[in-house]
């Protein structure tokens, strides 16, 4: 945890770069998931899932992704503990300084996302790893798993839909601060471009959150 | 104006402090905040009580000596001013004002509302200088500096080192202070020579002293009496990266 290995700024660089990397993962993840909305026969989604589950490059890259999550979470926790220690005795009167709202709760939204991630992996990834996904019947490609059915079955349960919507909203709050913050951490703050980066951050947070949320909602009502 | 005050009292560095309630009466709304504190202290002295210790010096917003976390904000409920420039008209008659010292591990309380800010001196000693003999005043324009760079350097150099950034930051981070110092030198040709060394030494010192990490909440910028911009933090991050990889 000490700063002997990495300075505070190096840790922030790592946080920012891993965070931006996780953004690209979310974009890919959402693009594939949306196939379920546009194609109720699940053929496109299952083919995409099959590709992701069998392509050797993606199989290796999957571990890079896990490492990305692990590093981002590890340094997030380390930095936060250092930050709590740095304040020492707190203020009696709640701090009223003007600041970006979601930036104050990154550790808490982060913890919620982590819990969500564990449950989410349990809902899909673990079942797949255990080979408990039924075979897809509507395709010529024999042996393809019906990952789409897993999703549809889960989201026929209203409780899960509400759970996913709430957790995804919290993820959206995390993302809203994250994007522009990552650019600031890697030293990109420019009179001309920063307003665009900030706008893009809000846009991405809204689009990713809304995109992920409509999937369980549409499946539930379909 | 009549006001109720809730003030942090702590006899010494190691003593256990507590909040003590006071009342002040007939305060002019045109009085400065520190004048109100002076009146309170005169009262306390007359009653034979220990006056409240607080930092102050120039009382015109230049020296960076005054501090005070007033009603949840460093330098109180106004922007771009120091506590000595705060006026009582910013408060309502009968209001309760909570006055606390800066809270940060590297800024220990010495007495009452006075904290030890020598951590900032140590940061300057770590690299916030140019190690050349300055000699006489050089001719104007002997070293060309673009107007834009000169303005940015001057904006960064406006920092008075009061510590409001650390006090406001939820992480007690000194990034705005350090980045202002790094920037004011890095932007000018005289400071560029030692820029790489400087940023690394100052960041290492900042970490050693136990300041928190920046989470880009920008509370520092909102509370800085000299309106130092967080673009300086981004500049320091760039300077640090370049120094590390080269």
What digits encode the pLDDT tens for the residues A86-96?
999 999 998 88
Q: How far is B139 from chain A (nearest CA, A)?
A: 32
Tell me whether residues B234 and A184 touch, CB distance under 8 A. yes
Task: Name the band, by pLDDT with cuts 50, 70 and 90, for residue A140.
Answer: low
Average pLDDT, chain A: 93
Find the angle CA(B28)-CA(B34)-CA(B40) to the nearest 5 degrees.
70
Q: Which residue on chain B is closest to A179 by alpha carbon?
A: B216
Instruction: Identify whether the C-beta of residue A68 lies closer than 8 Å to the C-beta of residue A18.
Output: yes
Tell me whether residues A189 and B173 touch, CB distance under 8 A. no
Q: Which residue on chain B is closest to A180 by alpha carbon?
A: B216
Interface test with chain A among B237, B239, B241, B245, by most A beta carbons within 10 Å = B237
Average pLDDT over residues A193-222: 97
User: How many domains is chain A built from?
Assistant: 1
Interface test with chain A among B217, B225, B232, B239, by most A beta carbons within 10 Å = B217
Q: How far is B54 from chain A (nearest CA, A)?
A: 17
Residues 42-101 of A with CB under 8 A from B: 79, 82-83, 85-100
Q: What are residue B4's phi and psi, to 5 degrees?
A: -105, 135
Q: Which residues of chain B have pLDDT under 50?
A: none
Cα pseudo-dihedral A186, A204, A104, A112, rounded to 10 = -110
Domains of chain B: 3-110 (3.10.20.30), 118-245 (1.10.1060.10)
Q: Which residue has the higher pLDDT, A137 or B114?
A: B114
**Predicted pLDDT of residue A102:** 92
**Predicted pLDDT of residue A141:** 66
Tell me whether residues B237 and A7 touch, CB distance under 8 A. no
Task: Name the band, by pLDDT with cuts 50, 70 and 90, for residue A101.
Answer: confident
Residues of chain A contacting residue B210, judged by C-beta atoms under 8 Å apart? 85-86
In a domain, A60, yes or no: yes
**Predicted pLDDT of residue A212:** 98
Instruction: Identify whether the C-beta of residue A11 lies closer than 8 Å to the C-beta of residue B213.
Output: yes
In a domain, A94, yes or no: no
Residues of chain A contacting residue B168, judged by C-beta atoms under 8 Å apart? 95, 97
In a domain, A45, yes or no: yes
- Alpha-carbon span B171 to A67, nearest angstrom: 27
Task: For residue A27, count other CB atoms closer than 10 A to its CB.
Answer: 12
Find the angle CA(A23)-CA(B175)-CA(B216) to the nearest 5 degrees.
30
Interface test with chain B among A93, A103, A198, by most B beta carbons within 10 Å = A93
Which helix or strand (DSSP H or E) is residue B182 part of?
A: helix B175-186
Residues of chain A contacting residue B74, judged by C-beta atoms under 8 Å apart? 97
Interface test with chain B among A91, A92, A97, A110, by most B beta carbons within 10 Å = A97
Beta-carbon contacts of residue A169 (< 8 Å; ≥ 6 apart): A209, A213
Q: What is the CATH number of the domain that holds A170?
A: 1.20.1300.10
> A119 to each of A115, A160, A164, B5, how far by Cα in Å?
6, 11, 10, 50
Whether the per-residue pLDDT at A59 is higher than 50: the answer is yes
Taking Cα atoms as reference points, which of A166, A178, A126 lies closest to residue A150?
A: A126
In a domain, A2, yes or no: no
Instruction: Identify whether the C-beta of residue B218 lies closer than 8 Å to the C-beta of residue A14.
Output: no
Tokens at residue B17, please? Answer: 């402090």
Q: Which residue on chain B is closest to A5 by alpha carbon?
A: B204
What's the start-to-end Cα distance of chain A, in Å?
Answer: 49
In a domain, A216, yes or no: yes
Name the residue range of residue A178's domain.
Answer: 8-88+101-221
Instruction: Identify whether the C-beta of residue B128 lies closer than 8 Å to the C-beta of residue B202.
Output: yes
Beta-carbon contacts of residue B133 (< 8 Å; ≥ 6 apart): none
- Alpha-carbon span B180 to B201, nearest angstrom: 15
Q: What are residue B110's phi and psi, to 5 degrees?
A: -90, -50
- Alpha-carbon span A180 to A144, nearest angstrom: 40
Taking Cα atoms as reference points, which of A60, A80, A59, A61 lies closest to residue A15?
A: A80
| Nearest Cβ partner for A185 among B19, B171, B237 | B237
Number of H-type helices and E-type strands within chain A: 8, 0
Whether the per-residue pLDDT at A168 is higher than 50: the answer is yes
- Alpha-carbon span B198 to B212, nearest angstrom: 20
In a domain, A153, yes or no: yes
| Nearest Cβ partner for A12 among B105, B214, B244 | B214
**Predicted pLDDT of residue B207:** 97
Tokens at residue B25, please? Answer: 């009466």
**Predicted pLDDT of residue A94:** 85
Average pLDDT over residues A16-45: 96
Q: Which residue on chain A is closest to B72 by alpha carbon?
A: A95
**Predicted pLDDT of residue A161:** 97
**Predicted pLDDT of residue A1:** 44
pLDDT per position as a tens digit, B213-222:
999 999 999 9
Tokens at residue A12, please? Answer: 């922030």
């Amino acid at each position: 945890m000490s700063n002997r290995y990495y300075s505070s700024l190096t840790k922030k660089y790592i946080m920012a770069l891993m965070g931006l990397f996780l953004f690209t993962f979310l974009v890919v993840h959402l693009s594939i998931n949306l196939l379920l909305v546009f194609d109720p026969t699940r053929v496109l989604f299952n083919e995409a899932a099959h590709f992701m589950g069998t392509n050797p490059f993606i199989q290796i890259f999957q571990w890079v992704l896990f490492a990305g999550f692990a590093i981002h979470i590890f340094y997030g926790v380390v930095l936060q503990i250092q930050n709590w220690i740095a304040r020492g005795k707190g203020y009696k009167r709640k701090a009223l300084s003007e600041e970006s709202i979601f930036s104050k709760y990154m550790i808490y939204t982060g913890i919620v996302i982590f819990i969500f991630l564990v449950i989410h992996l349990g809902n899909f990834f673990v079942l797949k790893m255990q080979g408990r996904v039924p075979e897809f019947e509507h395709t010529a490609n024999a042996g393809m798993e019906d990952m789409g059915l897993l999703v549809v079955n889960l989201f026929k349960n209203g409780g899960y839909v509400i759970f996913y919507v709430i957790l995804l909203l919290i993820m959206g709050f995390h993302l809203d601060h994250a994007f522009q913050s990552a650019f600031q951490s890697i030293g990109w703050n420019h009179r001309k471009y920063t307003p665009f980066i900030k706008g893009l951050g809000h846009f991405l947070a809204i689009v990713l959150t809304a995109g992920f949320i409509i999937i369980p909602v549409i499946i539930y009502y379909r | 104006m009549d006001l109720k005050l809730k003030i942090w009292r702590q006899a010494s560095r190691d003593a256990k402090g507590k909040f003590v309630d006071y009342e002040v009466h007939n305060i002019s709304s045109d009085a400065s905040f520190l004048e109100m504190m002076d009146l309170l202290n005169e009262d306390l002295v007359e009653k034979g009580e220990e006056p409240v210790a607080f930092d102050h010096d120039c009382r015109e917003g230049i020296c960076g000596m005054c501090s005070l976390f007033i009603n949840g904000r460093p330098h109180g409920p106004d922007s771009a001013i120091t506590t000595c420039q705060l006026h009582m008209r910013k408060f309502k008659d009968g209001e309760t004002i909570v006055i606390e010292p800066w809270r940060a591990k590297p800024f220990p309380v010495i007495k009452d509302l006075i904290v030890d800010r020598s951590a900032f001196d140590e940061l300057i000693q770590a690299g916030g200088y140019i190690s050349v003999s300055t000699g006489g005043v050089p001719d104007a324009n002997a070293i060309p500096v673009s107007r834009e760079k000169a303005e940015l350097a001057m904006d960064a150099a406006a920092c008075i080192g009061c510590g409001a950034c650390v006090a406001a930051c939820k992480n007690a981070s000194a990034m705005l202070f350090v980045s202002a110092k790094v920037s004011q030198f890095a932007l000018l040709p005289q400071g560029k020579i030692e820029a790489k060394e400087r940023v690394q030494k100052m960041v290492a010192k900042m970490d050693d002293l136990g300041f928190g990490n920046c989470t880009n909440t920008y509370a520092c910028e909102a509370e800085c009496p000299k309106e130092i911009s967080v673009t300086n933090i981004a500049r320091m991050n760039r300077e640090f990266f370049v120094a590390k990889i080269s």
